[in-house]
Structure 1
Amino acid sequence: MDLSKKRLFLLDLDGTIYLEDSLLPGAAEFLEDVRAHGSAVRYLTNNSSRGVDAGLEKMRRLGIPAEREEFLTAVEATVHYLRTSRPAGEAYFAVGTASFCRQLRQAGFDIRETPDDDVGAVLVGFDTELTYRKVEDACRLLCRGVDFLATNPDLACPTLYGFMPDCGSICTMLQGAAGREPHYIGKPDPNMIRLALEQTGCAQSEALMVGDRLYTDIACGVNAGVDTALVLTGEATAADAAVSPTPPTAIYQDMAVLLAAIREARR
């Protein structure tokens, strides 16, 4: 992999750029450097608990300049999937935050908060406002036979204290209760990367996917045919990468070490 040829950096956020409200080592310097050299940045996040506006506000609060068009989220991927792959006018029971439901309604979808007879699918996101009532209603619908959709398979979201259950863990609970497997929409599906390549006009060989999860971030890059870099600041370890069915092209301790490798490659 020739890092000097990369001009599109596809970056995960949680566990890669920051943990909660703390920037990870080298993240700010990395972003400043690649922008100064004319490279494009796209933030690819499976976090569906908040919208792009919240993501923008957080980055700016952390002192990182960011633009709306740089964010490609699981919600946007979900909107695209629902518009292109599901029946028009279908009703969805959402297991997600108020922000998640609001974004879907603003996109024109019929989002329900009760297990109505005309609901066509259960749609699960990273729900930091999860209640047992939502779980029970989702199971009622799944046992009835409606479709099971989810924004992403991430099992854990990294925090300063360790990890908290993400969308994949919620789905595992529902799967265990209802005996149904979900269709996952976000990473590792390659559509977010394909959209980023289209937006920037970059070739696959010019892109680098950087993330902390093997089965979402790195697998997404592999599925899209781009080089990948695993950073060890979140979920995965080097030992995990050694046995992964989708190993990364390279492994770096953090964004600071990746930046040093890019600078060395430019010489």
Structure 2
Amino acid sequence: MEKTAGVTMLRSKKLFIFDLDGTIYLEGVLFPGALELLERIRKNSGEYVFFTNNSSISTADYFHKIQRLGIPCKIDNVATSTQALIIHIRESYPDARFYVMGTASMKAELRESGLLVVDRYQEDIDGVVIGYDTELVYQKLIDVSRLLTQGKIYLATNPDLVCPVEFGFVPDCGSFAVMLENATKRRPRFLGKPEPDIIEMIINRFGVLKEETVLVGDRLYTDIKCGINAGIDTVLVLSGETTVQDLESSEFQPTFVVSGVHSILEMLED
């Protein structure tokens, strides 16, 4: 898409759904133009939502983190892969007990939602959930491997292989799943992006049309694929995981590509 068409597309949108890590900020430091872009969207009578696959922090903790960055935000402006997981378990396994390989923050959110969560191996556990566990210790891998070998239900929050950090990348939930697959020959069902369910929930929440919505993110196989699955326009930012080489070889092509969120700001202001 040419820049002129990209400008027209972006100015027609009423709802902007943003990824966080690698898109809005890196390790909690806002990218240049991020705050100004969000202000511009509101000034143009639009709305924004943050949808992250990072399950290491609960939805409530993300809400407070975003507020601390100076971003005007309500809890309805935040969506996470953990929320997608909770919805799926409530609908499909409401009485099941799950061993959770995740952070204390993630497990607290699952418990607060009424799910049955344990973090020690027990033979009568029904299933396993894995997330982006930044508190991972080897005993968790042993416990999960044992349960998966027994054929337990197997769910994961997100397929992201890496999480961007200041010096490069660190392993994310998708890499944990690959490691466990090597040990157990089991693959999980992933519930966050690129599954479109949460996107459709957000669109309904804000009462807009798909044609009035755009998803902005830095990963082709989660963010952009999610937008494609949901039937909405997508913008890829090259400030996170994806390189130009990745883009050229990917089957998941965005509607438009920019170097970072500052470029979107410029397009809305021209």
Q: TM-score, normalised by structure 1?
A: 0.96
| Partner of residue 84 from structure 1, selected from 91, 100, 103 | 91
Q: Does 1:204 align with 2:210?
A: yes
Correspondence list, 1:149-228, <5 A: 149-228=155-234
What is the number of residues matched between the two proteins? 263
| Partner of residue 31 from structure 1, selected from 33, 38, 41 | 38
In the alignment, what sits opposite 2:77? 70
Shift of 1:60: 2.2
Aligned to 1:119, what secondary structure does the other structure show? Answer: coil
Give the counterpart letter for 2:64 in structure 1: E
Shift of 1:69: 0.7
In the alignment, what sits opposite 1:13? 20
Q: Name structure 1 gaps, 5 residues minimum.
A: none
Contact persistence 1:94–1:111 (CA under 8 A): yes
Shift of 1:115: 2.2
Shift of 1:56: 2.1
Q: TM-score, normalised by structure 2?
A: 0.95
Root mean square deviation, CA, Å: 1.0
Structure 1 runs of 4+ off > 6 angstroms?
Answer: none
Instruction: State the distance in 2 between where 1:254 and 1:261 align.
Output: 12
Shift of 1:242: 1.7
| Partner of residue 56 from structure 1, selected from 49, 59, 63 | 63
Aligned to 1:63, what secondary structure does the other structure show? Answer: coil
| Partner of residue 122 from structure 1, selected from 109, 128, 146 | 128
| Partner of residue 104 from structure 1, selected from 97, 107, 110 | 110
Q: Name structure 2 gaps, 5 residues minimum.
A: 1-5
Instruction: State the distance in 2 between where 1:107 and 1:58 align.
Output: 20
Shift of 1:41: 0.7
Instruction: State the distance in 2 between where 1:49 and 1:146 align.
Output: 23
Give the counterpart letter for 2:152 in structure 1: V
Instruction: State the distance in 2 between where 1:45 and 1:206 align.
Output: 20
Give the counterpart letter for 2:240 in structure 1: G
Aligned to 1:196, what secondary structure does the other structure show? Answer: helix
Contact persistence 1:208–1:226 (CA under 8 A): yes
| Partner of residue 153 from structure 2, selected from 144, 147, 155 | 147
Q: Deviations over 1:167-208 (max 9, x none)?
A: 111111111111111110000000111011100111111001
Give the counterpart letter for 2:175 in structure 1: S
Instruction: State the distance in 2 between where 1:83 and 1:195 align.
Output: 16
Instruction: State the distance in 2 between where 1:252 and 1:183 align.
Output: 31
Moved more, 29-38 or 56-65: 56-65
Contact persistence 1:238–1:251 (CA under 8 A): no
